[in-house]
């Protein structure tokens, strides 16, 4: 369609953009919604929402011209070409606001001061809070966290382990606990801290949480700070230790909050943050051109949250777990380290992962969704220390998640 419009040579790129939208409107009732859906699938959420708002408004009032947030539309040519601003007085076919097309590179000076900026413009990506605010209010694109408190948050902080377990005290974990308690309270969660639980008590505490009535709430968070190890799994790797030295698999923890076990959380995001080792391997990393000068603070003494993996493999454990992975929805499990590797904790500052997660949430939670936040965490942690560590996540969320920050 774009090639046909360009070959016709009718008018400026502004007119060609409007012609594309007009043609989409005449190609059946599903053409334009599918085009908007393609924009969403390719990460152009702000543009998709802009066009969706205009389209819905013109369906209700064909005489109206809608300009969300008074955004002056800009049509952009091929990459590197200067955008051409539209003439607001020019009538738009179908009374639709124009749409940005092509692999555009928008410059901050070409956007009005009140316009939402695409990621990458300015110092903070989506620096203008209007764009995420638009997404937050769109239930098709983002989970709506409107309740206050928006959900329960349980923090299990295992520091002291029984001598028979062979596990040392996790010095510095109390700092992690305080940071997470403060951070999620500020994010409008009702926080409960449980300390030094055996494996049985850990499961019991989580079952009690799952059995609560969450109908009036919008989200649920579980933070676990403990020693960890590898564990056989079909769904989620790893296990965390109770203070008695008995492991509880992450898979079992997540399944406590499944749709059948916790129906009042159905369709709502369930977030798990695991600060524990995924095994005993120490990653020495590989050389790169640049290194961070702030990798380690003077006098720091990092420890790992790992013990050797004792259990032998079961038949079939070597098969590809992804082939039998189910598709649970509305679940995200964030791990402090890659499966099989240790997770580092500084005895005087707390763990690398929790310290970084807290700092990223403080600075960016107002303007970025959870996936972008966790990418920032992974990048920052990967640059630390002599030994290396890379956080990651298993993400089965269906929408973007913006924390409640006001």
Catalytic residue flag (residue 227): yes
> What is the chain's length?
406
CATH class of 2-107: mainly alpha
Domain boundaries, the chain: 2-107, 151-310+323-395
Catalytic residue flag (residue 215): no
In angstroms, the CA 107 to CA 235 distance is 43
User: Percent of the chain, pLDDT > 70?
Assistant: 67
User: Percent of the chain, pLDDT > 90?
Assistant: 41
pLDDT at 72: 42
Catalytic choice (150, 219, 227, 393): 227
Catalytic choice (153, 220, 262, 277): 277
**58-117 pLDDT, tens digit each:** 666 554 444 433 344 444 444 444 444 445 454 444 444 444 444 443 333 333 333 333
CATH fold of 151-310+323-395, please? Rossmann fold (3.40.50)
Question: Is 129 in contact with 114 (CB distance < 8 Å)?
Answer: no
Please give the average per-residue pLDDT across 365-379, as a whole number. 94
pLDDT at 279: 52
Q: Which two structure tokens, joined as six digits, stand for 184?
A: 């999620």
Question: Is 360 in contact with 376 (CB distance < 8 Å)?
Answer: yes
Question: Is 312 in contact with 250 (CB distance < 8 Å)?
Answer: no
Burial 153-168 (b: 16+ CB within 10 A, else e): bbbbbbbebeeebebe
Give one DSSP letter per residue of 21-72, joined into a string.
Answer: HHHHHTS-TTHHHHHHHHHHHTT-HHHHHHHHHHHHHHHH-TT----GGG--
**310-342 pLDDT, tens digit each:** 333 333 322 223 233 333 689 999 999 877 677
């Amino acid at each position: 369609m774009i090639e046909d419009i360009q070959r016709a040579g009718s008018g400026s790129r502004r007119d060609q953009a409007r012609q594309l939208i007009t043609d989409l409107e005449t190609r059946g009732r599903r053409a334009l919604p599918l085009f908007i859906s393609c924009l969403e699938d390719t990460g152009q959420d702000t543009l998709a929402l802009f066009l969706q708002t205009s389209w819905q408004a013109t369906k209700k009032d064909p005489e109206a011209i809608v300009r969300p947030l008074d955004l002056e539309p800009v049509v952009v040519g091929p990459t590197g070409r200067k955008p051409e601003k539209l003439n607001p007085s020019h009538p738009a076919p179908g009374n639709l606001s124009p749409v940005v097309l092509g692999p555009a590179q928008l410059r901050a000076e070409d956007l009005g001061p009140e316009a939402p900026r695409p990621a990458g413009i300015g110092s903070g990506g989506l620096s203008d809070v209007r764009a995420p605010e638009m997404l937050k209010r769109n239930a098709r694109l983002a989970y709506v966290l409107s309740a206050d408190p928006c959900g329960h948050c349980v923090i299990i902080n295992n520091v002291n382990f029984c001598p028979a377990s062979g596990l040392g005290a996790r010095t510095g974990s109390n700092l992690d606990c305080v940071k997470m308690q403060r951070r999620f309270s500020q994010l409008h969660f009702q926080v409960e801290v449980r300390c030094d639980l055996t494996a049985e008590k850990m499961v019991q505490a989580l079952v009690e949480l799952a059995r609560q009535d969450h109908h009036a709430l919008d989200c649920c968070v579980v933070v676990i700070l403990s020693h960890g190890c590898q564990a056989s799994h079909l769904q989620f790797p790893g296990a965390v230790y109770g203070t008695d030295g008995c492991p509880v698999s992450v898979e079992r923890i997540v399944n406590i909050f499944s749709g059948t076990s916790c129906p009042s959380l159905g369709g709502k995001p369930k977030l798990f943050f695991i600060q524990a080792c995924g095994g005993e391997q120490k990653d020495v990393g590989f050389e790169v051109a640049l290194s961070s000068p702030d990798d380690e603070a003077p006098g720091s003494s990092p420890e790992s949250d790992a013990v050797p993996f004792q259990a032998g493999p079961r038949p079939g454990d070597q098969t590809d777990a992804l082939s039998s992975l189910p598709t649970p929805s509305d679940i995200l499990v964030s791990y402090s380290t890659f499966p099989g590797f240790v997770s580092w904790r500084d005895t005087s500052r707390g763990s690398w992962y929790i310290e970084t997660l807290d700092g990223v949430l403080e600075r960016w939670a107002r303007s970025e969704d959870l996936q972008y936040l966790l990418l920032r965490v992974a990048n920052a942690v990967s640059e630390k220390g002599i030994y290396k560590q890379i956080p990651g996540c298993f993400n089965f969320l269906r929408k973007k998640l913006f924390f409640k920050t006001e």
